[in-house]
Structure 1
Amino acid sequence: MGTIFQIPDNPSVGELQHLLTTCSNQIATLTDLVATYKADAAIKTTAFKREVARATIRYRHDGTAAVVKALVEIDADVIAAGNECDNAEAIYGLAKAELDGYEAHFVALRKISELRKTEMRSFGS
């Protein structure tokens, strides 16, 4: 992740073909990664919820509902599971944003290609 993809101001037909191919390949790669990261985030979210439930049971006799909630929030296992969940969600979000960016570039490249086709037809007439 993190590769900078730029469309030149006036790409040639060959550059457009290369950019479309590169963009398509990157979309395919990122789609697989995003699916993996999404699954990982879901697994870690479930693990976090389970850890909260365990801690709630562990502290259920330690006072009022507000005290139990506070104890659950500061429980070391809950904090660790929450951090893992947050990290997985952040990675998924970044990968999804990068995929969205490549998809937007792909659409732009297709539009530029269509404009070039139209230009070539009008010059050929």
Structure 2
Amino acid sequence: MPTERFTCGLDAALAVIGGKWKPLILFYLAHGTRRYGALKRCVRGVSDKMLIQQLKELQADGVVDRTDHQEIPPRVDYSLTPLGVSLARSLAPLCAWGEEHSATIAAMVDRRNGAVAVTAAE
């Protein structure tokens, strides 16, 4: 009896975008092709190792294209494939929700971090 690979569509989508950095990478690439350095500046806080790993995974999943221009100094561009564009479009409502509720979310995160700091101090 064959088993299904994913439990639902969300499970399938999370297999591609799971993790802290991939949705942000997709968000910035949805606004146009970017060179590695520009993408690194956009996705603040990510290490070089992690950004390279995440880009390789997105490329392997067919969501991101990597164009190496074979120049010195090296010039590499990243862009979304048609599959990546459709995925980025599906994230747009989530981005809108985040914008609409950013103040509430910031307060919740601050409370949660404060609660963690108090618990750790005890």
Q: TM-score, normalised by structure 1?
A: 0.24
**Which structure's residues are more often helix, by fraction?**
1
Larger Rg belongs to: 1
Q: TM-score, normalised by structure 2?
A: 0.24
**Which structure's residues are more often strand, by fraction?**
2
